[in-house]
Homo-oligomer: A and B are copies of this chain.
Amino acid sequence: MTKGRLEAFSDGVLAIIITIMVLELKVPHSAELAALKPLLPVFLSYVLSFVYLGIYWNNHHHMFHATKHVTGGILWANLHLLFWLSLFPFATGWMGENHFARTPTAAYGFVLLMAAIAYYILQRTIITSQGRDSLLATAVGSDWKGKLSPVLYFAAIPLSFVTPVLATASYALVALMWLIPDSRIERLLIETKQGAQ
């Protein structure tokens, strides 16, 4: 019950964030194809953020699938994650409209970093409450992706001020790394199910 409502609320917030981002793609007044050209960087930054929010929804989904009960601490750690994710439309719009300029690209990296830290805190809060031998704790294991990502974001922030293109490439690379499915949790869940049958 409680878990269902937390998931439903998170789904709602994520669905709205992912959709209002598209409002930054402002309808041009001109009917020429050329009118779409200045929108290209906004579009590209939208695609990047869409993929990131998809990854977060995916991982959030797997993480709570392996969660039994929800505590007050988990509720707030989850809201903390949603807070940073809610800044995606702003960071995406700023970076896109300024054609991946230095400061906005660094700011985007900062929001990515804070969201990654918030996700890590949420994961730790859940594992602490479920116990070290819980399904999630075993499934997460060393979680090299979750540990590598913030390091890469942290490195990309100063890089944004030198070559913003490389910083953006780092953000895209981290996204690609996550797109390869985190088969560990999935495999474990399937095995658990089969074991229960």
Chain A residues engaging chain B, CB cutoff 8 angstroms: 1-2, 5, 7-9, 11-20, 22-25, 27-33, 36, 47, 50, 54, 57-58, 61, 65, 72, 75-76, 79, 82-83, 86-87, 89-90, 93-94, 97-98, 101-104, 107, 179, 181, 183, 186
- Residues B186 and A27 in contact, CB atoms below 8 Å apart: no
Q: Is the CB of A15 within 8 A of B20?
A: no
Residues A72 and B19 in contact, CB atoms below 8 Å apart? no
Does A101 contact B1, Cβ atoms closer than 8 Å?
no
Of B5, B20, B36, B65, which contacts A7 at CB under 8 A? B5
**Count of chain copies:** 4
In the bound complex, how far is the Cα of B86 from the Cα of A23, in angstroms? Answer: 10
Query: Which B residues are in CB contact (< 8 Å) with A50?
Result: 79, 83, 86
- Min Cβ gap A93→B in Å is 4
Residue of B29, B89, B102 near A22 (CB, 8 A) is: B89
A19 is contacted by which of B7, B86, B101 (Cβ under 8 Å)?
B86
17 A-B pairs with C-beta separation under 8 A = A1-B65, A2-B65, A5-B61, A9-B57, A12-B12, A13-B19, A15-B15, A15-B16, A17-B19, A18-B86, A20-B23, A27-B94, A29-B97, A31-B102, A33-B103, A50-B79, A50-B86
